[in-house]
């Protein structure tokens, strides 16, 4: 009996039920490798899937927890067990994946596109380069990098969350990006990727969701080639106090309401507002990058510090 009319049950299936169906949709990530890119992917992966087995970097839901059992961390304003945070973040992004791009445009009035454009301009990406976009979700950055690096270059769109990565994979395949690979990976370990393998590593609106940010920064340093650069685009601390109050009002009232109306999920957007307030400010993050080994670190505030782009080099 055909099961075509059955409603999808899992978040992954819900994401896969979008009307744009990619030819790779039913193959497990990261085996949805665009033709011709397998060789390039092998060069940057530390492990190769053995016939029929699940590659170890193909993370199950909720995997990738770090920290000792019994320790606590923050999840927005809540305190949770460290080993539970990744699962809670996963639930947020499984829930919002199909409405993520629409919500981004609505919540930021489209300004997130300008922030991303600014970060891409700061990246100095060139033709032929190898780029890793971590926590890349629906692929906004990877899509532009794909064009900028050209056919001789290579981009990896990576995320811990299968629902988000499936949306990104469909979108980039539909856009004809043939030099992009899609890999499930935890930013904290970047286990699939070999040392010194990328010219540019980016993480856009992803770092604040990561439980162990120091471990993530160390992993980013590891996978960058000497001479490579890291760009972090993330919400930050507004620098103008009166504006900050207005911004708080907007974040804690309007965002959850919009989340409820558009994505039928106010809690995830409440988490968004809270997680932004819990993220290290500009100077703290710069210090963390320096501790991880990055040099010549700097940052640029955008929209009065609502967002900042941090940049550091592996020399
Ligand atoms: C707000 S979205 C950002 C997506 C995209 N980079 C953008 O700028 O639109 C945050 C992404 O971080 C991912 N994420 C959260 N924790 C992660 C982790 N530990 N490792 C990798 N990705 C993670 C989520 O799955 C989600 O796709």
- Each residue's pLDDT tens digit, 173-209: 999 999 999 999 999 999 999 999 999 999 999 999 9
Ligand 1: atom nearest CA of 187 is 20
CA 206 to ligand 1 centroid distance, Å: 4
pLDDT at 46 over 80: no
How far is the first Cα of the chain from the last one, in angstroms, to the nearest whole number? 60
- Ligand 1 contact via 234 beta carbon (within 6 Å): no
From 107, 139, 160, 185, give the residue whose CB has the most ligand 1 atoms within 8 Å, as the site to mutate: 160
**Exposed (0-12), middle (13-18) or buried (19+): which is 307, by Cβ within 10 Å?**
buried
Say yes or no to pLDDT of 45 above 60: no
Q: Which residue has the tokens 């994979």?
A: 169
Which residues, 6+ apart, have CB-to-CB distance to 73 below 8 Å? 67, 79, 80, 81, 82, 85, 211
Residue 48's CB: how many other CB atoms inside 10 A?
8
User: Is any atom of ligand 1 closer than 6 Å to the C-beta of 209?
Assistant: yes
- Output the CA 5–ligand 1 centroid distance in Å: 31
Q: Is the CB of 137 under 6 A from ligand 1?
A: yes
Which residues carry a binding-site annotation? 138, 159, 186-187, 204
For the Cβ of 187 lying below 6 angstroms from any atom of ligand 1, the answer is: yes
Ligand 1 mutation target, pool 62, 98, 159, 205, most atoms within 8 A of CB? 159
Give me the chain's average pLDDT, please: 82
> Which domains occur in the chain, in start order?
72-312 (3.40.50.150)
Under 8 Å between Cβ of 260 and 96 = no
Residue 47 pLDDT greater than 90, yes or no: no
Name which residue sits closest to atom 3 of ligand 1, judged by CA.
205
**Protein residue closest via CA to atom 27 of ligand 1:** 137
**Smallest CA separation from ligand 1 atom 4, residue:** 137
170 Cβ below 6 A of ligand 1: no
Query: Rounded to an integer, what distance in angstroms lies between the CA atom of residue 41 and that of residue 7?
Result: 34
CA atoms within 13 A on the CB side of 119: 33
CA of 110 to the centre of ligand 1 (A): 19
pLDDT band at 282 (very low <50, low <70, confident <90, very high): very high
Distance from the alpha carbon of residue 152 to the mean position of ligand 1, in angstroms: 27
For residue 277, count other CB atoms closer than 10 A to its CB. Answer: 15
Q: Which of 17-31, 134-148, 153-167 has the lowest average pLDDT?
A: 17-31
Residue 259 in contact with ligand 1 by CB distance below 6 A = no
pLDDT over 60 (residue 43): no
Residue 214, pLDDT > 70, answer yes
Contact 294 CB / ligand 1 (< 6 Å): no
Convert the pLDDT of each residue in 254-271 to its tens digit: 999 998 998 888 988 898
Among the listed residues 185, 196, 208, the one whose alpha carbon sits nearest the alpha carbon of residue 281: 208
> When comparing pLDDT for 231 and 33, which is higher?
231
């Amino acid at each position: 009996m055909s099961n075509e009319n059955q409603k999808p049950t899992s978040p992954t299936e819900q994401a896969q039920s979008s009307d744009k169906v990619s030819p790779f949709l039913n193959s497990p990530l990261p085996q949805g490798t665009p033709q011709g890119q397998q060789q390039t992917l092998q060069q940057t992966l530390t492990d190769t899937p053995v016939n029929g087995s699940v590659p170890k970097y193909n993370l199950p839901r909720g995997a990738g927890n770090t920290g000792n059992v019994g320790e606590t961390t923050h999840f927005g304003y809540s305190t949770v067990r460290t080993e539970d945070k990744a699962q809670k973040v996963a639930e947020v992004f499984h829930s919002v994946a199909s409405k993520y791009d629409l919500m981004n445009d609505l919540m930021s009035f489209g300004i997130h596109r300008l922030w991303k454009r600014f970060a891409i301009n700061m990246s100095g990406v060139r033709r032929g380069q190898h780029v890793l976009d971590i926590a890349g979700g629906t692929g906004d950055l990877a899509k532009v990098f794909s064009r900028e690096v050209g056919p001789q270059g290579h981009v990896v769109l990576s995320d811990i969350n299968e629902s988000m990565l499936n949306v990104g994979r469909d979108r980039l395949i539909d856009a004809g990006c043939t030099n992009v690979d899609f890999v499930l990976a935890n930013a904290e370990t970047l286990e699939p990727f070999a040392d010194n393998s990328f010219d540019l590593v980016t993480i856009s609106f992803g770092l604040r969701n990561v439980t162990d940010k120091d471990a993530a920064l160390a992993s980013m340093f590891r996978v960058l080639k000497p001479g490579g650069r890291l760009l972090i685009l993330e919400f930050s601390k507004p620098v103008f106090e009166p504006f900050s109050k207005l911004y708080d009002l907007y974040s804690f009232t309007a965002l959850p309401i919009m989340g409820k109306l558009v994505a039928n999920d106010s809690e995830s957007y409440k988490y968004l507002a809270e997680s932004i307030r819990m993220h290290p400010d500009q100077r703290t993050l710069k210090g963390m990058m320096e501790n991880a080994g990055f040099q010549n670190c700097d940052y640029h505030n955008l929209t009065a510090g609502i967002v900042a782009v941090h940049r550091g080099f592996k020399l």
